[in-house]
């Protein structure tokens, strides 16, 4: 599959070249075509000509497997061209029964995942300040922007005697989070953990202010028990942002993160992710599933 997707990245799809004679087509010809031209080429013929590892049976198996993953599977071993026509109707193209390279690329790359299993975070997001100790637990969201790892939880502990706060961070990478070459079909979840230390610069009965960061960016964290809020405001520090293998771009404006109720945030995230996955399923299957759910929920 990796080889297949790599070739697709090089030769992504095309518009009708009339009826191209693929027996005379070379890789250089593919590279000279526009994206629209490549998208219109017959996928099976392109794969068989240019991908040595794929024969007719292997190609049909890949296509059938991708269609099955999208719930195009009602009868026992249905004809492949019938499944392809149903898929083409769902995506709004002519139901020919054979895939163009553009349609095949879309089939292999989009929503090629099982329904994601929810993982819910805990913590109310509210801070508690009692004497010389403070704590908060919840899930970070960035105001007005996406966060790299939406499924996360932070447990913050602050000690006045040490003038320090410690933030224990857990982040879950789901298959929706793109990295490197993008998503990998059937990729598992990955767990990342970290510990951040913060220097306390103000300790009041109802508010604690701490700061952290480095040469590139500096962050101020405020915990206010009266407003029941924990916020982090990150700004450019003006120093080097070179991380060795990569560098951080400067922020266009201060970035504000707010600690929220962990269950509320992660429940909403997985609900949206599951619905987006279902939208990639066969429309006929979704209709059948909806009908079954309606029958089971209707009181007798």
Per-residue model confidence as pLDDT tens digits over 225-245: 999 999 999 999 999 888 887
15-26 tens-digit pLDDT: 333 345 576 777
- Looking at residue 214, the DSSP 8-state letter turns out to be -
Cβ partners under 8 Å of residue 65, min gap 6:
none
pLDDT band of residue 287 (cuts 50, 70, 90) is confident
Look at the pTM and tell me if it is higher than 0.85.
no
Residue with tokens 């009181």: 299
21-69 tens-digit pLDDT: 576 777 777 788 888 988 889 999 888 888 888 889 999 999 998 898 8
pLDDT at 51: 83
Averaged pLDDT of the chain = 84
Distances (CA, A) of 169 to 83, 111, 157, 251: 45, 29, 12, 22
What six digits make up the tokens of 141? 């969201």
Instruction: Tell me the average pLDDT across 258-280.
Output: 91
Question: Which residue did the predictor score with more confidence, 179 or 46?
Answer: 46
| Separation CA 22–CA 38 (nearest Å) | 12
pLDDT at 112: 54
Q: How many CA atoms lie within 13 A of 137 on its CB side?
A: 7
Under 8 Å between Cβ of 103 and 66: no
Q: What are phi and psi of 167, to 5 degrees?
A: -115, 115
Instruction: Tell me the average pLDDT across 190-213.
Output: 96
């Amino acid at each position: 599959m990796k080889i297949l997707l790599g070739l697709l990245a090089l030769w992504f799809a095309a518009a009708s070249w009339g009826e191209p004679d693929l027996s005379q087509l070379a890789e250089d010809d593919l590279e000279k075509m526009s994206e629209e031209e490549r998208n219109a080429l017959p996928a099976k013929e392109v794969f068989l000509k240019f991908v040595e590892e794929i024969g007719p049976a292997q190609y049909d198996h890949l296509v059938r497997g991708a269609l099955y993953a999208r719930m195009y599977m009602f009868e026992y071993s249905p004809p492949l061209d019938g499944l392809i026509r149903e898929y083409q109707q769902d995506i709004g193209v002519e139901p020919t029964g054979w895939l163009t390279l553009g349609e095949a690329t879309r089939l292999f790359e989009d929503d090629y995942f099982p329904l994601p299993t929810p993982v819910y975070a805990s913590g109310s997001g509210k801070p508690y300040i009692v004497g010389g100790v403070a704590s908060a637990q919840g899930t970070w969201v960035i105001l007005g922007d996406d966060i790299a790892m939406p499924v996360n939880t932070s447990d913050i502990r602050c000690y006045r005697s040490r003038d320090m706060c410690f933030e224990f961070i857990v982040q879950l990478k789901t298959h929706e989070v793109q990295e490197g070459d993008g998503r990998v079909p059937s990729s598992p979840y990955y767990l990342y953990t970290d510990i951040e230390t913060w220097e306390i610069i103000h300790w009041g009965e109802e508010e604690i202010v701490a700061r952290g960061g480095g040469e590139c960016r500096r962050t101020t964290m405020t915990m206010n028990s009266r407003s029941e809020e924990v916020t982090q405001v990150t700004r450019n520090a003006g120093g080097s942002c070179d991380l060795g293998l990569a560098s951080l771009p400067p922020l266009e404006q201060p970035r504000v993160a707010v600690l929220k109720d962990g269950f509320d945030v992660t429940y909403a995230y997985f609900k949206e992710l599951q619905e987006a996955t279902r939208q990639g399923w066969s429309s006929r299957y979704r209709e059948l599933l909806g009908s079954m759910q309606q029958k089971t929920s209707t009181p007798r």
